[in-house]
Structure 1
Amino acid sequence: MSYNEAETRYFLIDPVLRDKGYDSHQWLKLETPAPVEPTGPKGRRRKGSGRTDYLLCVQVGDMPKALPVAVLEAKKETEDPLKGMQQAKGYIDRYDVKYVFATNGHRYGEYDKFSGLQAGPIPFPDFPPHPDLTARFSRDTGIDVTQPEAKKLFMLDSAAYPDSRYYQDAAIRAAFEKIIRCRQDGEPARVLLSLATGAGKTIIAANLLWRLHEAEELPKPALFLCDRDELREQGYNKLKAVFGDNARIVKTEQGQNAARNARIHIATYQTLGLDDDTEDEKIASFLTDFYPEDAFSVIIIDECHRSAWGRWSEVLKRNPNAVHIGLTATPRQLRESKKKTAEDDEITANNRKYFGEPVYEYTLIQAQEDGYLAACEIVKRKPSIDSRTFTKEEILAAKPLDIRTGKPITAEDLTKSQYTGKDFDDELFIDMRTPAMCRDLFDLLCQNGGPEQKVIIFCTREIQADRVAMQMNNLYAAWCKENGQTTKDHYAFKCMGGKNNGSDMIEPMRGSGERAFIACTVDLLEAGVDIERLNAVVFFRYLESPIKFYQMLGRGTRIHEETDKYKFWLYDYTGVTDLFGTDFITRPPRPGGGGSGGGTGGGEEGGEDDVPAVAQITGQYVSITPQGRFILSSRDGRDVRIPVDEYRRGMIQRVLQEAHSLKEFRQLWVETQKRRLLIDHLISSNFSPELIRDIDQLNDCDLYDVFVHLGYRASALKRSERNWFYIDNNRSWFENVDPKAATVLMALGDQFELGGTEALETPALWDVPEISKAGGLAALKLIGKPPLVMHEAKMRLFGA
C-alpha cells in the first residue's frame, strides 16, 4: 500500500533531508489560518486548517536563525513529482524564496528563480546537500552568507513579536537583501515595501529594526517618520514593546529633544517642521536645531504614499547615507506637479522612482485568502438624482437658499454653469438626497446584522457629515421605539479634527460594543485608525483617487475574533468601487486644501469668515436604486469586484466540468474523496459554495441541493424535506432488513437533517446515542459491508 502525503514526508523525504545535512531547524513548517468567507452578516472562517507549506533553509555557523531559501512541496508517493510545479512557482514571491522543489520521495523536480528554468524529474537521493544549496544561494544572489553584512539575515525577531507571519518575515528578508545589494554596488540603500492595510506594517518595522540592532547595524539612531498623531502613537506603542525606553517620541521637553538619548526616534513631519505649510525658503528648525546631518542609520517612512508631496524630503536629503525604507499600502506613480521644485522632484515625485520597485508586495486579496484579513461583500446603490445635471438657470429657478444662513442664493454665488452628481451635497445640496441615502443604509444595516454595527460613513464635507449623523440618530431612535429597545449613547456622531468635533469618540468606537456606532467623517478616519470591530465602510462621497479609496477601504479589513467579525460590508452609493484594480496614479492635493485626493469636496470646514455660500434646493424626488451585489476577488493580479450572478455562473460551470449530468453529480457526491476534491477545486479557484448558499437564502439546504438546483435545474430540497423523502420512499427497504440495521439507516436521515452531508462522514456519527445503541457499524455488517451499505443509503438519500 502506497504512502499518503504525510507518510511520504515522514518515511521517504525527511530521512533523505537529514542525510543531506538538513536538520530539523532547517526546514520550517508554515501554517496559515483557514481562509475567511463573506457569508452571513459577519462572515466566517472555513472549516479545517489553512495552507501548510514547508520552507527549506540554509544555516551558517551558530547564527540564531536559519534563512529560508526554497519551498519544499511534498507529494504522496504515487504522484508525479512535477505535478503542481506551476502552482508552486507562485510561492517564489509569496515567501521571497529563490527555488521550488517538489518530490514524492523517489524523484524530485525543481524551479530556479534566477534562470527561470524547471528541471526534473531527478532521483531524490541526488537532492543537493545543505552545503551545496548554501553555496548556490550565495552564488545566485551575490550575497556571501559567511560575511558580517549577511548577519542580519539570520537574526531572530524581538521577544515582543516573536512569531512573525510568513509575509512579515519575507518582507524583512527582502528588504535586507536589497540593502546588501545596494551597498555592494555602492548605491544608496532605498527600499519600498507594499503591504495591505491591516497586514502589520508597524510590526514589520519594529522587527526589522530589532534585527538590525541585533546584527550591530544601528550605530546611530533610527527614525520612524509618519504624518499624523494617531500613526505616531501606534508606532510608539509597537516600538516601545520591542525597545522599551530606547524608543521615544520626538518632542521638545525643557528646551531639549525628549528622544535625544534613545535608539529609536518616533516623529511626525509636523514635529520636525516638515509639513506642507513650510515655506520654500525656510528650513525645518526642529530638525536642524536638534539633529546634525547624517544623524540616523535608518529612516522608515510610514504610509509614504500619503506624504510624497510634502517637504519631508528635507530629512532624507540631510541623511543621504542612512537606509531609507518606505512603507505603503498603495505604491503609486504621481503625475507631474507644476509647482514642484527640482530638488523635491528628485526625491518625492515618485515613490517607485526614489525607492525602486517594491521588494515585497502583499495584497488585500492574498491576506483574505490566507485568513489574516476580513473578507468583503460589496453592495452598490445609486441615488436616482445623481443622473441629473442642473444648470445654473435651473438652480436659480428653484429658489435656492444658503444651507447655513437660509438666505437666498444669487447668480454670483453659483460658480459653475452646471452641476452634476459629483457636486451634490458638496457645492449643491439636494434636500432629500442625504435623507434618502441614510434611510436606505439604515434598512441595509437592519437586514445585514442589525443597526448597532460599527460603521464609518465617508461624507463629502462637514456640512453633510452633520446631516448624516442627525438622520442616522433619528432613524435609530425610531427603530428603538418601534422595537422596544433602549437607545445607546452616541449612536451616530460626526468625527472631524479639532476640539469638540467628535475625534474623542474614536476610542469608544474602537473599544466599546455599547456606544459610538456610526462615525460620519470626511478625511479624519481615512488612514492610521485601527478599528478591528468595524463592520461596514460606506461611501456617500465621490472619489477619483484609488489611493484614497484603498486607504478608506482599509479601515474595515481587520478581523476581530472577539466579536466573530471575519467580513466587512462595503456600501457604495457613488460608484467608488469602480476604482478596484485601477493604477495608483493621482494628482497631488491642492496646496492647503482639505486633500480630497482627486475627489470632490473633502476636508474640514473652514473658519466662519468669508465662507462661500452653499446652495440647497428643495422639491426634488430622490429614490435609491440597487446596482447589484459583488464579491471582491482577484483576476490577472488585480483586485476586481465580481457580480454575484457572474460569480455564481463561474462556480456552477466549474461543477459541470466535473459532472455533466445529475446522475454523474450524485455519484460524485456520495463518494467522500471525490466530493471533497470538488470542493477543494472550487475553493482553490476562489469560489465559495457556502457564500452562494447564503446569498441565495438556501441555508436550510445541503450544498448538494444548492448545486443540483443551480447546475441541473432540479428542485432544491431543505435538509428536513430530503430526510422526509428518504424515510418515506424507502420504507420497504427498512422493513426488509435487520431491525437494528434499519434503526441505524433511518437515523442517518436525522443526522443529515441536522448537519448535512458532512454529518454522515464524521467519526462522531457512530457516537450518536440512537445509532450507538442500535449497534452502529456492527448493525450494518448484518446486511452487508458497511462502506457499501453507507454508499447505498446516501444514493437513496440523494435520489429524491
Structure 2
Amino acid sequence: MLAKKEMSERDICTKFITPALEQAGWNKLSQFLEEVSFTDGKIYVKGKLTARGKAKRADYILYYKPNIPMAVVEAKDNKHSVSSGMQQAMDYAAILDLPFVFSSNGDGFAFHDKTVTEGPLETSLALDEFPSPEVLWAKYKKYKGLESPLAAKMAEQAYYSDGSGRRPRYYQQIAINRTIEAIAKGQDRILLVMATGTGKTYTAFQIVHRLWKSGAKKRILFLADRNALIDQTRRGDFKHFKDKMTVVQNHQVDKSYEIYLALYQGLSGSEEASNIYKQFSEDFFDLIIVDECHRGSAREDSNWREILRYFKKASQIGLTATPRETTEVSNIEYFGDPLYTYSLKQGIDDGFLAPYKVVRIGMNVDFDGWRPEAGKTDVHGQEVVDQIYNLKDFDRKLVIEERTQLVARKVSEFLKGFNRLAKTIVFCVDIDHAERMRKALVNENPDLVKADHRYVMRITGDNEIGKKELDNFIDPEQKYPVIVTTSELMTTGVDAQTCQLIVLDSNINSMTKFKQIIGRGTRINEEYGKMFFTILDFRQATNLFADPDFDGDPIRIKEVDEDDDLEPEGAGEGGEEDDDQPVIDIETGEVVDFPEVEDEEEEDDQLGPDGPRIRQPGGGGPNPPPPPAYKIYVNNVDVSVLMEREMHFDQHGKPITVKLTDYARQQIKEQFPTLEEFLTTWQATDRKAAILQELEEQGVPVEKLQASVSHDVDLFDLICHVAYDQPPLTRKERLNNVKKRNYFTKYGDQARKVLEALSEKYADKGLEELESMEVLKVYPLTQLGSPVEIVKGFGGKTKYQQAIQELEQELYRSA
C-alpha cells in the first residue's frame, strides 16, 4: 500500500475523507456529492469556434436535504497541510452561499464556521470529530432564523422533481432558499434580480411549489403584462400544477383554483367595472409573483400598482433582469433592496450565458450629420428644411433611403460570412422603420426569400401575420423566419434560444431597454450550436457597455422618509394613466407593443407610427398610418461606411479603450513581470496550452491578439513579442529548426512518423493540436493506426505523453 504522502488527492478522498463523513452520519447517496462542478465554464470564442474554460468544482458539497446545501469540503493531498485548501473552500462557500467550510489533507479537518458569534471562527478537528448532519442543521437553523416548526418545514420542503434529474443551478438554489427563508421569517416584499436567460420562471416555480406544498401559501397569483409571458409560464415549468392552475381571462373569475396566472390588464382597467381583481377578497391570495416588475408595476401612480396594494396582505415577490431606478420610477422602493442578484457578467463568467462580440459600424451621415443641399426636395417634391440631421433624427424625423439600404447590405454581408440561416433580430426605431428594413433585407437576399418568403419577416404589434410567426422564430427546430425586424414588441418576453445576431439600428437611451435587448441573445443552446452571439451596432448604442452601472447592482435613486405617504394622490381613482403602460387591444386585452419611456426624447420616439396607445375596434391595427408629412423621406443621398471595427472587452466585460497590444502587455506582465519568469513557468509546465488558456481566462484576448499580429506566429512567440518585445518566429520556422537538428532520428520508424505528422499539425494549427489526444483520430494520423495502436507504439500512454513533452521542449529550445 502507498504511503499517505505518496497518495493522490483522489486517494486521500477515497481512503480518509469519505469514510470520515460516513462515520459522522452523512449518507453518501443523498447527503453529499463529490467532485461537484457548479458552473459550466466560461465560453471563449475563437473565430467561429468556441471552447469552454474550467468549470468551478468543489471536492465535496454537503446537504442536510437535497434542497439544503450547507457545507463545502476542499481536499488536498498529504503533501499539503490540513488547512491549505481553506482559502479555495472559502471562495467556493461565498459563491454558493454556504456557512460551513472544511479543508482536509486526510490527517484531520480545518473547520471554518460562519455561524459562530463567540469564540474562534476556525478550529481543528480529528478525522473522527467531523460534525453530524443534525449538528450542522441545528447551527444552520439558528443562523438563518428558522427555529420555529413552520419555518423549518418550509425550509425542508423538497424541490419539485419530474424524474429527469434536473436540479436548480447554484444561483437558482440561492435565490429559492433565500426567498423561502425570508418569507419564513415574515418578510413580505422581496425582489430577485436575475439576468435574462438565467431561469427566472423556473426559479419562481420552485419557490411557489415549495411554499404551496408545505402549506405555507395556499393561493398564489402570477402576474405578467404580456400574453407571451403568461403562455410561456403556463406551458413551461408551471405546467406541473396541472388542474390546480387556471389563467384568468375574458373577465371570468373562478375561485376554485389554487394557482392563478393573469395579465395586469386582464384584471384592471381605467373604469371601476374593469377592475375585476376586486371580485377577489383582499386576503384571497397569500402569495403574488410579479414577473418583469421593472415595467408596468414599477411606477407608483400606475393603475397596475393598485392591484399589488389591494392584495397588500399577500407576500409579494418581484422578478426582473433590470431593476428600474429613476427619480420617478422605483421597484426597489416598493419591494426593497434585492434579496439576491445574479448578473449578466456572472452568467457569462459561469458559462450559463452566451458571450457576445460587438461590431460597430458608422456611416458618413452618422458621424457628420446630413444637411440638404440648396433646393433639395423629398420624395413628394417638398423642399427639405435646411438644418443638420443626425442619428437622433434618422428614421424618426428624417428617412434616408440609402442609409436603410446600406444597413440591410451590411447585415446581409455579415450573415453571408457567418451563416445565412443564423436567427437574427433587427431592432428599429418604429414600425414604419421596421417595415422599410424588412423590404431592404428582402431585396438584399432575393435567393433565400424566393426559397421561402418567411426568410425575412416583420414582427411588430400591428402585424398579425408577423406575430403568428413569433413562435416559429423562437422554436429552434423551425428554420423560418430567419431575420425578423421589430421595434418594441421583441425587446422582452422572447425566449430566442438560437438567436445569433442582434442588430441595433434604434436609438437606445434607456439602460433598462438596452439590457433587455442584449438579453435576447444571451441564451445558450449547445444542441443547435448556439454558444455566442454578435451585436451589429449602427447607432453607437453599445456605448452603454461603458456605463459603470451597466452590470452593477441597482442604486436606490428615489429615497423616502418613514413618514412619507406612499399612496399617490388619485391613484386608482381616475388618476393619470401610467406613461409606461403598453399598447393594448381593447377587444382582446392583448399587449401589442410596449413603449419604454425613459425621458422626453424617448417619449417623443413613441408618438410616430406606434402612437396613440389604444387600438380601437375594427381599426385593422394599433394605429392608423401616420400622415405623409410626419416624416421626411429623401433619396439620392451619398451614404458610405466610414468605420467598421470589432470592440474588445476585458475579463470584467468592460470595453478595452487602449490599443489591444498595450492592453495585452499589461495583462501578461501582471501574471509574469519579466521574460525570465514567463520562460521558467513555460518550461516547467507539462501542458503548454494550459498557460495560454489561463492567460485568456485572466483577460488576455489571445485569439484577437493573434489576429492583430499574425495567425502564423506561434502563441508562445506572440506573447514574448507583445509583452517583452522579442522577435517572433512562425510555427513553421520553429519546426524547421527542429528538423535541421535531426531530432526525429532518435525514434524508431513508426514513432518517428507519428511525431512528424503531429509536428505538421502543430505547424498548421498550434499547440492545442499537439497536446490533444483527439488529433490521433484525424488524418493523416489515422493512416498510422488507431489511437490505441499509436500510443502502444511508444510503450504506453505515459511514454507517449513524455515524447510529446520532449518535442515541445525541442521546439522551444532556442527560447
| Smaller-chain TM-score bracket | 0.7 to 0.9
Corresponding residue for residue 290 of structure 2 = 301
Change (3 A) 1:664 1:461: same
Matched, 1:629 2:652: no
**Which residue of 504, 510, 524 maps to 1:559?**
524
Is contact 2:474–2:494 with CA below 8 Å preserved after alignment? no
Corresponding residue for residue 796 of structure 1 = 810
Matched, 1:430 2:400: yes
Distance 1:398 1:4 in 2: 84
Distance 1:773 1:216 in 2: 59
Is contact 1:437–1:624 with CA below 8 Å preserved after alignment? no
Matched, 1:576 2:541: yes
Is contact 2:713–2:730 with CA below 8 Å preserved after alignment? yes
Is contact 2:41–2:52 with CA below 8 Å preserved after alignment? yes
Distance 1:774 1:513 in 2: 41
Distance 1:150 1:773 in 2: 56
Corresponding residue for residue 341 of structure 1 = none
Is contact 2:115–2:143 with CA below 8 Å preserved after alignment? no
Corresponding residue for residue 422 of structure 2 = 453
Larger RCO: 1 or 2 (CA < 8 Å, sep 6+): 1
Task: Give the superposition deviation at 1:469.
Answer: 1.2
Corresponding residue for residue 308 of structure 2 = 316
Deviations 1:210-263 (A, max 9, x none): 1112211232x21110000111100111244211122221113xx843x54322
Matched, 1:749 2:756: no
Task: Give the superposition deviation at 1:751.
Answer: 5.4
Query: Comparing 545-554 with 259-268, which one deviates more in the overlay?
Result: 259-268
Task: Give the superposition deviation at 1:595.
Answer: 2.0
Distance 2:759 2:49 in 1: 29
Q: Helix, strand or coil for the counterpart of 2:80?
A: coil
Task: Give the superposition deviation at 1:476.
Answer: 1.3
Matched AA of 1:329? A
Distance 1:41 1:507 in 2: 30
Matched AA of 2:140? F
Deviations 1:725-772 (A, max 9, x none): 533x133x4446655664555354245457743454456788966378
Matched AA of 1:675? K
Corresponding residue for residue 492 of structure 1 = 456
Change (3 A) 1:373 1:724: same
Distance 1:223 1:365 in 2: 31
Task: Give the superposition deviation at 1:67.
Answer: 1.4
Deviations 1:163-209 (A, max 9, x none): 2222212211011111122x2xxxx5111111110111111111211
Change (3 A) 1:118 1:502: farther
Corresponding residue for residue 616 of structure 1 = 633
Corresponding residue for residue 268 of structure 2 = 273
Unaligned runs of 5+ in 2: 559-577, 584-593, 612-622
Deviations 1:496-551 (A, max 9, x none): 11344622221232235543211111100000011111111111111111100000
Matches within 5 A, 1:168-179: 168-179=172-183
Matched, 1:233 2:231: yes
Matches within 5 A, 1:45-194: 45-46=51-52, 50-53=55-58, 56-57=61-62, 59=64, 65=66, 67-80=68-81, 88-92=89-93, 94-106=95-107, 107-108=109-110, 110=112, 112=114, 119-120=121-122, 122-125=124-127, 127-144=130-147, 147-160=149-162, 162-181=166-185, 183=186, 189-194=188-193
Change (3 A) 1:90 1:408: farther
Matched AA of 2:14? Y
Is contact 1:380–1:627 with CA below 8 Å preserved after alignment? yes
Is contact 1:89–1:111 with CA below 8 Å preserved after alignment? no
Distance 1:116 1:624 in 2: 67
Distance 2:758 2:334 in 1: 66
**Which residue of 723, 732, 738 maps to 1:726?**
738
Is contact 1:670–1:794 with CA below 8 Å preserved after alignment? no
Matches within 5 A, 1:673-712: 673=686, 675=688, 678-679=691-692, 681-687=694-700, 689-690=702-703, 692-693=705-706, 695-696=707-708, 703-704=715-716, 706-711=718-723
Deviations 1:567-595 (A, max 9, x none): 00011121222223554689985677862
Distance 1:434 1:371 in 2: 36
Distance 1:787 1:493 in 2: 54
Deviations 1:294-353 (A, max 9, x none): 1112100001012213322222222122110011001232322xxxxxxxxxxxx42112
Corresponding residue for residue 32 of structure 2 = 27
Change (3 A) 1:734 1:619: closer
Q: Helix, strand or coil for the counterpart of 2:177?
A: helix
Q: Helix, strand or coil for the counterpart of 1:335?
A: coil
Distance 1:101 1:502 in 2: 57
Q: Helix, strand or coil for the counterpart of 1:324?
A: strand
Q: What percent identity do the matched residue pairs reach?
A: 27
Paired residues, what number? 743
Matched AA of 1:317? R
Matched AA of 1:682? L
Matches within 5 A, 1:518-667: 518-580=483-545, 581-583=547-549, 589=579, 595-598=595-598, 600=602, 601-602=605-606, 604-606=609-611, 607-608=623-624, 611=627, 613-618=630-635, 620-626=637-643, 628-632=645-649, 635=652, 639-642=653-656, 645-646=659-660, 649-656=662-669, 665=678
Matched AA of 1:266? L
Change (3 A) 1:766 1:537: closer
The TM-score normalised by the length of structure 2 is 0.81
Distance 1:617 1:34 in 2: 51
Corresponding residue for residue 784 of structure 2 = 770
Distance 1:91 1:384 in 2: 51
Query: Comparing 319-328 with 88-97, which one deviates more in the overlay?
Result: 88-97
Is contact 2:372–2:384 with CA below 8 Å preserved after alignment? no
Task: Give the superposition deviation at 1:796.
Answer: 2.1
Is contact 2:454–2:480 with CA below 8 Å preserved after alignment? yes
**Which residue of 26, 35, 50 maps to 1:44?**
50
Task: Give the superposition deviation at 1:775.
Answer: 8.8
Change (3 A) 1:389 1:699: closer
Distance 1:486 1:118 in 2: 75
Is contact 2:356–2:534 with CA below 8 Å preserved after alignment? yes
Distance 2:207 2:776 in 1: 52
Corresponding residue for residue 614 of structure 2 = none
Distance 2:361 2:133 in 1: 58
The TM-score normalised by the length of structure 1 is 0.82
Is contact 2:44–2:51 with CA below 8 Å preserved after alignment? no
Q: Helix, strand or coil for the counterpart of 1:378?
A: strand
Q: Helix, strand or coil for the counterpart of 2:654?
A: strand
Q: Helix, strand or coil for the counterpart of 1:372?
A: coil
Is contact 1:438–1:471 with CA below 8 Å preserved after alignment? yes
Distance 1:604 1:232 in 2: 27
Is contact 1:36–1:566 with CA below 8 Å preserved after alignment? no
Change (3 A) 1:741 1:592: closer
Change (3 A) 1:750 1:239: closer
Distance 2:633 2:413 in 1: 26
Is contact 2:667–2:700 with CA below 8 Å preserved after alignment? no
Task: Give the superposition deviation at 1:157.
Answer: 2.1
Cα RMSD of the aligned pairs, angstroms, is 3.9
Distance 1:351 1:170 in 2: 21
Task: Give the superposition deviation at 1:710.
Answer: 3.9
Distance 1:566 1:266 in 2: 33
Change (3 A) 1:268 1:708: same
Corresponding residue for residue 509 of structure 1 = 473
Is contact 1:143–1:150 with CA below 8 Å preserved after alignment? yes
Deviations 1:410-445 (A, max 9, x none): 87xx9xx87542122112223432222222232233
